Chains A and B, each alone.
Chain A
Amino acid sequence: AQSVTQPDIHITVSEGASLELRCNYSYGATPYLFWYVQSPGQGLQLLLKYFSGDTLVQGIKGFEAEFKRSQSSFNLRKPSVHWSDAAEYFCAVGGARYNTDKLIFGTGTRLQVFP
C-alpha cells in the first residue's frame, strides 16, 4: 500500500542554520513526490515536486529536495533558514501505477525557528 512517513513531528532550528526534513515513502512503482508548506491559518502551498529526471529538485523559497530511490526518501533541505520559514511541512506521494486519484500525505513536520 502507498504510504508516507515523516518521522519528525516537530523540529526547532535557529535562524540561519541549515534544515533537513525527512520523508520516506512506500510505493510499488516510480512515485511522484511533492512537498507542501502550510503557514498558520492558511492552505497548503506547493514548494516543489519530483516526477522524473534529475533527482535533485529545486523549489520556491530556496528549498530543494533529493529523491533517493534506494532509500525510498525525498528529504527537503534549505541551507539557511529564515524566521518566515516557520510553518508545517507536508510530504506527499502519488503515482500512475495504482489508483491515480489519490495523493497520500504524511502527517507533517512542524518547523519552529528561533532568532
Chain B
Amino acid sequence: NAGVTQTPKFQVLKTGQSMTLQCAQDMNHNSMYWYRQDPGMGLRLIYYSASEGTTDKGEVPNGYNVSRLNKREFSLRLESAAPSQTSVYFCASSESLPGAGNTIYFGEGSWLTVV
C-alpha cells in the first residue's frame, strides 16, 4: 500500500551542488507532479508530466529539471542548488489531470536545505 514514494526524505546540500529527488508511484497513474512548499506560500507547482513521455513547466520551474523515466517514476533534478531552493518538495500523482476532476495523491515530502 505504498502509493507515492519519494527519496530522500532529508538532504542538506551546499550551494552549487546538484542532486536528484526520486519519485515512484504504484497506482498506475498517468500524471505526476512536483510541488514545493514554503511557509506562507502554500504549494506551488514546479513541473508536471501529464502522461508518460511528456513534461511541462508549472509555476516555478527555474533552477529545476525533470525526467519522466517511465510511467511509474518522475525525478526532479537541481543542477546547481541555491539557498532559495531550500524547501519541502512533494511528489504527487493522479489518474489524469486535475482539470478532469481527478484527485491528486501526495508523497510524504522531501526536506531539502541548501547552505
A: residues with CB less than 8 A from B are: 9, 32, 34, 36, 41-46, 49, 51, 90, 94-96, 98-103, 105-108
Contacts and interface: CB of A to CB of B under 8 A. Distances in A.
Nearest to B104: A103
B48 A43 contact: no
Interface residues of B, number: 27
Q: Is the interface of B mostly helix, strand, loop or mixed?
A: mixed
A42 B48 contact: no
Given A42-B109, A43-B90, A44-B106, A101 B98 contact: yes
Interface in B47-72: 48, 50, 56, 58-59
A43 B107 contact: yes
Nearest to A103: B98
B41 interface: yes
Interface of B: 4, 31, 40-45, 48, 50, 56, 58-59, 90, 92, 97-101, 103-109
A67 to B, nearest CB: 14
A101 B56 contact: yes
A19 to B, nearest CB: 20
Residue from the set B42, B50, B56, B90 with the largest chain A CB neighbour count within 10 Å = B42
B30 to A, nearest CB: 12
A101 B99 contact: yes
B99 A94 contact: yes
